Structure 1
Amino acid sequence: MSSVSISPSTLSSPRPNSAFSVRKAMSTRFINRRGFLGQANCALISALPIMNTLLNLRLAGSAAAQETGNNDYKALVCLFLSGGNDSFNMLAPRGAAYQEYSGIRGPIAIPEAQLRPINPLVDPGRPLGLHPALEGLQSLFESEDLAFVANVGTLVETVTKAQYNAGQNLPLGLFSHSDQIEQWQTSIPDNRSGIGWGGRMADLLKSLNQENRFSMNISLDGSNVWQAGNTIAEYAIRDTGADSMTGYNSAYVAGQHASQVRSAALDSQMAVEYDNIFQKSFAKSKKDALAAYDAFTAATTVTLPSNITWPDTRLADQLKMVARTIAGRGTLGMRRNTFFVNYGGFDHHSALLPNQAAMLPVVDGAVKAFWDTIKAIGAENEVVLYSGSDFGRTLTSNSQGSDHAWGGNQFVLGGQVKGRRIHGSYPDLHADSILDVGRGRLIPTTSVDEFFAEMALWLGVSRSNLPLVLPNISRFIDINGTAAPVGFLL
């Protein structure tokens, strides 16, 4: 069954000015078609809020293959910084290489004295520092919990500047927000796809979970391509928890208020045994949706460690809900999860320095509180968080901002991460670099396929099944070999 994606904003409430009538439930055990349709229209119930919940449930179907694994738990968290984070100001050269950096960046270079120094265990070829707002990430790097992967981006295959200039083997819509966001989520840069690599991964791994009322893929940002599979849809929740059916309250008291009438009507529908298979399936789906909501809510209503201070930001609230779900993993019966969290607004064509100075502390504080919590609940070896973004940005300035580019730097965090290292190859930043295709747009030296393959293997996908998750992976690694795609995970 193909995945279905519907924006939550279109499902939030019944349409205004629609005519609805309240019908009394039939007293007989079975109900006919007319009675069913009458009840389906009652109490201001539109199909859309119901379908919002139903489509959050894991869709039925069998995966192309099923993986096996030990009786463990693993969660992969994608933190997507949408808009195109200027990551060469997130991780910038210091020392002798600083002049090269400041020379090409001009007015958008961070003063060297403000960069937070880091001390990698393996020499990356030049001293590096973090954006001054990243105090938490600096401490996580130094404690070997966090690493950076340098110059990552979408690639059809390894490409040279000459091939770029000839227009050969380039990702579709290179430098375009919509295309590059899609390709970061599908890992298919040479074709359009509505199926994400996280969804294809869940198609393979879903049988590891004992609980089948929830998708393995949980989104804190509604529908997304990354978690859409052939047999899997994301389970979309809010930073406050799961959503029940719109307007339904299981603890209602009989009355004439719209919510009371709506709740009574739904209970009436679910109490009837229908003779039509569609009616029966529809009623069962509503029961399953409510049961899933109750189970998820009970499992994630946990008390997190009180000695950790969470920032008062939406991103922190989202990651706190991820932490709650991970804390409830045993009750939920889950062995594998992916989580999607999005923080947007990084398209800084102007005022780059003040904008990053305002936004990166939000990332830093939320990620630090999240990781402190994950360690406090003893799940640090079971969780990996990685950052992603549409693309890197031009090294040259556009007035006081930067433009859409290609390769960029990302971070990965986890107890199984080979931390305090710069993985991949941090590029030369001078204007005549062999990677610079114009204005400081750098050809990636690590493909997103390699980046994602490392995490897919960690989550439990077998090496032989990597092409089912990442169709182009054999263009970058030997899937019959044993070498790690990048090497940032133990």
Structure 2
Amino acid sequence: MSKRISRRKFIGQACCSAVGSTALFSTLLNLRMANTAAAQSVPTGGDYKALVCLFFAGGCDSFNMLLPYGDTEYSEYAAIRGDLALSKSAGEILPLTLNQPIGKDLGIHSGMPEIQALCNAGNAAWLANVGTLVQPTTKEQYQAESVILPLGLYSHADQIRQWQTSVPQDTSSIGWGGRTADLLHSLNNNENISMNISIAGNNTWQSGNEVFEYVVSPNGSTGRSRYDLTWGVNPAMSAAIDSQLTHDYQNLFVDTFAKKGKGAMDAHAEFSAAIDQATPLQTVFPEENYLASQLRMVARSISAHSALNMNRQTFFVQVGGWDHHDEVLGTMATMLPQVSEAVDAFYNALTELNEQNNVTLFTASDFGRTLTSNGAGSDHAWGGNHLIVGGAVNGGQVYGTYPDLFEGNLQDTGRGRLIPTTSVDAYFGELALWFGVSPQDLPTVLPNVTNFYTPSAASGPLGFMNMS
């Protein structure tokens, strides 16, 4: 919720022990962000915008999502992928009709026809070979170790955190979505419910210094109102519990716990009432599809944003099971159609709500995967391809630089582990600017962004969002 105790205030009251250099960097970074938030520049007006992060946990083999279709490029792809290559002749690749040619003919996995249609209609775009970077990095610099590289480069835990914090040189626990919310949550006229809503549990992306995620399930709020608990049928017991939860305690931990408990119950009651009173969606979401159930709840939450007095919201959804060290082809052939159908239903629901231009969904994952096969699957790598969907997306295009895929190319550090040609800072900077973060505040949200983009530039870092 928005009105929780701040981390810096908690540290000041609870007293902390000496910290090492990494923790000190993190502390100073968080303090700088918090101080900058006090001088924030927020947009005016009552416009509504939402960001939806779809996280592929495990490291998605995204060069079998967005892959070469032209004969020359496909030959390179097939040679390096070996038994992991999709068959063009068997119709396992759907061609993309791009608004602007990029010098390569590309297609997507045949299990994603709905995504193909969204892209060809201009409502979805792809970003090629994006990943965590501290600064622009060449193959020679990587080999010479002459630049700062992300910590734990091929580690799940490290790379999940770095994709969600956009600070790959540090073990920060503050996400860039949380830092964005710290800056912009005052645009909302609701102090009870966070602007950051997760349908996939706690996450780093939405964790800020002041604002944290409010977790709900695909079926609604997971909290329970004091009135629907067993003791809620007893007015005296209900009043006694309320008194305990609203009492001011000298002990910081007890006081925080009590306030958090009451706030959670109040938030549950308010959120549930707004969702229940919203007009039911007519869009049909696929059954037996966990991502679809998450995105249905996101759409229902968006339909209630006016009742909740929300002008800015972020949502976090997640699909796991992408760590395909074996059975890449068969498993992705099962999983990608579910993703495609769920995202398509979500976009249709946004259209039904007339919110398609106000909501942008983007994908993220731990890392890309090796282009070469380990015998049946692919292993942890670096750069990968990602999808952006929404009416404000300058769709029908592939942004960034789609790399050559022959073994030993200028981006290949070995086994087809590709150095990203686009940083996550440029990717997220584009989204943050569209969402309402001012150019002057962009380095607060993305501390490394000036290594890749000049915030005072006349256009966004990559151009895939319509900023008007």
With the shorter chain as reference, the TM-score category is: 0.7 to 0.9
In 2, Cα distance between the equivalents of 1:188 and 1:252? 42
Partner of 1:204 in structure 2?
A: 183
Partner of 1:164 in structure 2?
A: 142
**Do residues 250 (structure 1) and 213 (structure 2) align?**
no
Contact 2:285/2:296, CA 8 A, preserved across alignment: no
1:76-155 equivalence runs, <5 A: 76-96=51-71, 97-112=73-88, 113-155=91-133
In 2, Cα distance between the equivalents of 1:280 and 1:128? 57
Contact 2:281/2:300, CA 8 A, preserved across alignment: no
Q: 1:280 to 1:2 in 2, by over 3 A?
A: closer
Q: 1:483 to 1:283 in 2, by over 3 A?
A: closer
In 2, Cα distance between the equivalents of 1:394 and 1:180? 15
Partner of 2:16 in structure 1?
A: none
Q: 1:489 to 1:274 in 2, by over 3 A?
A: closer
Contact 1:270/1:283, CA 8 A, preserved across alignment: no
TM superposition shift of 1:142: 1.1
Contact 2:295/2:346, CA 8 A, preserved across alignment: yes
**Do residues 227 (structure 1) and 206 (structure 2) align?**
yes
TM superposition shift of 1:152: 0.4
Partner of 1:431 in structure 2?
A: 407
In 1, Cα distance between the equivalents of 2:255 and 2:75? 70
Secondary structure of the corresponding residue to residue 306 of structure 2: helix
Contact 2:96/2:107, CA 8 A, preserved across alignment: yes
Q: How many residues align?
A: 428
In the alignment, structure 2 segments of 5+ residues that lack a partner are 1-5, 10-33
Secondary structure of the corresponding residue to residue 133 of structure 2: coil
For residues 330-377 of structure 1, the C-alpha deviation after alignment (integer angstroms, 9 at most, x for no partner) is: 000000011011111100010100010111112111111111001111
In 2, Cα distance between the equivalents of 1:165 and 1:371? 43
**Do residues 477 (structure 1) and 453 (structure 2) align?**
yes
In 2, Cα distance between the equivalents of 1:398 and 1:265? 62
Identity of aligned residues (%): 47
In 1, Cα distance between the equivalents of 2:155 and 2:247? 51
Equivalent AA in structure 2 for residue 269 of structure 1: I
In 2, Cα distance between the equivalents of 1:207 and 1:397? 49
TM-score of the superposition, structure 1-length normalised? 0.83
TM superposition shift of 1:286: 4.3
**Do residues 450 (structure 1) and 445 (structure 2) align?**
no
Picking from 172, 175, 191, the partner of 1:193 is 172
In 2, Cα distance between the equivalents of 1:191 and 1:121? 39
Partner of 1:9 in structure 2?
A: none
TM-score of the superposition, structure 2-length normalised? 0.87
For residues 153-176 of structure 1, the C-alpha deviation after alignment (integer angstroms, 9 at most, x for no partner) is: 000111111111112321111111
Contact 2:283/2:348, CA 8 A, preserved across alignment: no
For residues 167-190 of structure 1, the C-alpha deviation after alignment (integer angstroms, 9 at most, x for no partner) is: 232111111111111100000011
In 2, Cα distance between the equivalents of 1:276 and 1:104? 64
Give me the CA root mean square deviation. 2.3
Q: 1:423 to 1:170 in 2, by over 3 A?
A: same
**Do residues 268 (structure 1) and 240 (structure 2) align?**
yes
In the alignment, structure 1 segments of 5+ residues that lack a partner are 5-59
- State which drifts further: 125-134 or 478-487: 478-487
Picking from 39, 52, 56, the partner of 1:65 is 39
In 1, Cα distance between the equivalents of 2:393 and 2:291? 23
Partner of 2:13 in structure 1?
A: none
In 1, Cα distance between the equivalents of 2:249 and 2:176? 38
Picking from 150, 156, 167, the partner of 1:177 is 156
In 2, Cα distance between the equivalents of 1:264 and 1:244? 22
Contact 2:408/2:414, CA 8 A, preserved across alignment: no
Runs of 4+ in 1 over 6 A off after TM superposition: 277-282
TM superposition shift of 1:71: 1.3
- State which drifts further: 285-294 or 309-318: 285-294
